[in-house]
Structure 1
Amino acid sequence: MDVLSDVIALVRSGQARSARVAWHGSWGQRFPSAPGSAGFQVILEGSCWLIPPSGDPVALGAGDVVFFPHGHGYALADDPSVPPAEALCDPLEDAELFVSDSRGRDGPVTVTLCGGYRLDLRHAHPLLRDLPEVIHLPVRPGHHPELRAAVGLLGDEVGNPRPGADTLVPALLDMLLLYILRACFAQAATPAKATGWAAAIADPAVGAALHAIHRDPAHPWTVQALAVQAGLSRAAFAGRFTALAGRPPMTYLTWWRLTVAAGLLRDSDAPLSEVAARIGYLSEFAFASAFKREYGIAPGKYRHSLRA
């Protein structure tokens, strides 16, 4: 698997939810902070203003996407001077997978599509932690056509549910999250401003090593073996990986193996010996010792704590 797919598969928990709302006339809506989640807003029709947690208001137009990777609070309004009301639209708190609503009666109409994803922060990857609190992806001709297509499909399904929508909407929400993150990293990885994990994934050598680790974490990787994947000398690879990924290659490998193990303990009933083998440990004892060093608890107790 590639790095981004792996990260999303482990950090996502539960089902995402969405809401399509038509706002009429003068309006303002506050969306509170939601730790352990990520959310988005898409302007399907009309225009409005984003009032972020900090900084100046941002004008949004039809087709714009705004992503909140850390669940920070924000507000939307037809005018930045309008005092926002407390949240009445919170897709993560709604029992339905998707809802469609209308607020107000007269005046100009703005239609928004909001959504939220539950995140298991125990498995948070530094790739996600690197992201800023607000990401604005303005609509521009020829940019991110897949993202625009996913937005259109999701907006149609939520606004006009038909047979099969209960299956299609969650799939489209997952697709939208990946397209948003792709766009974020493509934007952040431009040569002039590439930093952190956007730069690590975009770097041909470090990216090749990361993909090798994620493709087969159980393989008996060494720094030299990963350097071969990267096409660099051992010393050059180790320095480059550490500089971009923020930790040495073997430290990252161990951390990722144990992160995968934690996900297996959460999502499967595989015995500890099988979990150990699937991440490259030759014995259950060695795996348990490494897991306890990382998580402060034995793997069996960790699994029990998730299901208590």
Structure 2
Amino acid sequence: MDIVSDAIAAVRIGRSSSNRMEISGRWCTRLAPYDGAGFHVVLKGGCRLLPDGGGPALLLGTGDAVLLPHGAGHVLADRHTDIDATALERAVPFERRQEASPPDSPAAGTGEVQMLCGKYRLDRTRMHPLMAELPTVVHLPHQVGSHPALRSAIDLLGRELGERQPGACIAVPSLLDLLLVYMIRAWMAEDTTGTWPTVLGDPVAAAALRALHADPAAAWTNDRLAAEVGVSRPTLARRFTHLVGRPPMGYLTWWRLTLAATLLRDTHDPLAAIARRVGYGTPYALSHAFNREFGTTPGRYRVACSGGSSV
């Protein structure tokens, strides 16, 4: 897997959920903070979005996509309404708005504004720094010729939700997964000053990361990694540490343990098998490193992820 895929896979849990919202006239609705990531795609019309914490409201138009990667609470309103203190006070909770205008009502398809609103469930306890760096709001306005893959995914989602063809129950979740990847790609393409877009654009750091992610269980050393990348050991250490924020072997240790946490959460594999997959010779060695890094044992972590309680 590549670094972006690994970063997403490490935090994704469960399946995404989505609702189609159709509304006309003057309106204002509030979405509460969420322990995951929220997103909106404007399929028709336009609206305003104001995230919690202040700042100017964003004006969204047809084809625009917005990702709120840290689950910030926010308000949506029609584009003619100024989102001031008075508007915030009378904002209707989003769930109540959906109950009042379900997508299968007789009036479906006639709203002035049609949006896809949804959520991705994320495990924030082991967030990859690439995901942590995403801003509170990623606004990707529709522009002719920009991010064609994202535009195609939005068009396909609009058709699937509007036409209700056979197989939509499989197609829509798959398209939502693609949408998340394309939104992150688009952010990386536009935010050329960000740490991780810079890291993945650097030939030395990116090559080293690809090697570590491709085979985290390998017996990596600084010398072996430098030879794999084709640079001297001092050059690798200097470039990698400066850009990534930790030395290569420090990053490898963190990633191995993060990968172990993901396997503990998502599989029933025994600890010995997980230890081998992430580069530890014995379950004891993995347990010791895991406890030192995360302050809990692998067993307790797995029980907590399953919703149980350890004795």
How high is the TM-score relative to the length of structure 1? 0.90
CA distance in 2, matches of 1:104, 1:88: 19
CA distance in 1, matches of 2:121, 2:51: 21
Asked if the contact 2:64/2:142 (under 8 Å) is kept, the reply is yes
CA RMSD of aligned residues (A): 2.3
Unaligned runs of 5+ in 1: none
Residues 1:210 and 1:183: Cα distance change in structure 2 (over 3 Å): same
Size of the alignment, in residue pairs? 297
Aligned counterparts, 1:17-32, within 5 A: 17-32=17-32
Please state how far the C-alpha of 1:104 moved relative to its aligned partner: 9.3
State whether structure 2 residue 147 is matched by structure 1 residue 144.
Answer: yes
CA distance in 1, matches of 2:161, 2:61: 20
Q: Which moved more, 1:46-55 or 1:1-10?
A: 46-55
Which residue of 2 is the match for residue 205 of structure 1? 204
CA distance in 2, matches of 1:132, 1:88: 23
Q: 2:94 aligns with which of 73, 83, 88?
A: 88
CA distance in 2, matches of 1:80, 1:200: 41
CA distance in 1, matches of 2:3, 2:137: 22
Which residue of 2 is the match for residue 56 of structure 1? 56
CA distance in 2, matches of 1:73, 1:29: 11
Unaligned runs of 5+ in 2: none
CA distance in 2, matches of 1:154, 1:104: 20
CA distance in 2, matches of 1:295, 1:73: 28
Which residue of 2 is the match for residue 275 of structure 1? 274
Aligned counterparts, 1:185-224, within 5 A: 185-189=188-192, 194-224=193-223
The one-letter code of the counterpart of 2:244 is: A
Aligned counterparts, 1:28-47, within 5 A: 28-34=28-34, 36-47=35-46
Q: 2:163 aligns with which of 140, 160, 164?
A: 160
Please state how far the C-alpha of 1:221 moved relative to its aligned partner: 1.1
State whether structure 2 residue 175 is matched by structure 1 residue 172.
Answer: yes
How high is the TM-score relative to the length of structure 2? 0.89
Question: Secondary structure of 2:118's partner?
Answer: strand
Which residue of 1 is the match for residue 249 of structure 2? 250
Which residue of 1 is the match for residue 261 of structure 2? 262
Residues 1:296 and 1:164: Cα distance change in structure 2 (over 3 Å): same
State whether structure 2 residue 186 is matched by structure 1 residue 183.
Answer: yes
State whether structure 2 residue 1 is matched by structure 1 residue 10.
Answer: no
Q: 2:120 aligns with which of 97, 101, 117?
A: 117
Please state how far the C-alpha of 1:204 moved relative to its aligned partner: 1.5
Asked if the contact 1:22/1:103 (under 8 Å) is kept, the reply is no
Please state how far the C-alpha of 1:159 moved relative to its aligned partner: 2.8
Asked if the contact 2:200/2:206 (under 8 Å) is kept, the reply is yes
Please state how far the C-alpha of 1:102 moved relative to its aligned partner: 7.1
Asked if the contact 2:8/2:131 (under 8 Å) is kept, the reply is no
Q: Which moved more, 1:227-236 or 1:140-149?
A: 227-236
Which residue of 2 is the match for residue 133 of structure 1? 136
State whether structure 2 residue 232 is matched by structure 1 residue 233.
Answer: yes
Per-residue CA distance 1:175-221 (angstroms, 9 max, x = gap): 100010110111113xxxx2312211121111111111111100111
Please state how far the C-alpha of 1:252 moved relative to its aligned partner: 0.7
CA distance in 1, matches of 2:237, 2:96: 45
Asked if the contact 2:43/2:115 (under 8 Å) is kept, the reply is yes
Please state how far the C-alpha of 1:74 moved relative to its aligned partner: 1.2
Please state how far the C-alpha of 1:49 moved relative to its aligned partner: 1.5
Please state how far the C-alpha of 1:253 moved relative to its aligned partner: 0.3
Per-residue CA distance 1:118-163 (angstroms, 9 max, x = gap): 1011221111111110111111111111101111111222233222
Question: Secondary structure of 2:70's partner?
Answer: coil
Asked if the contact 1:19/1:101 (under 8 Å) is kept, the reply is no
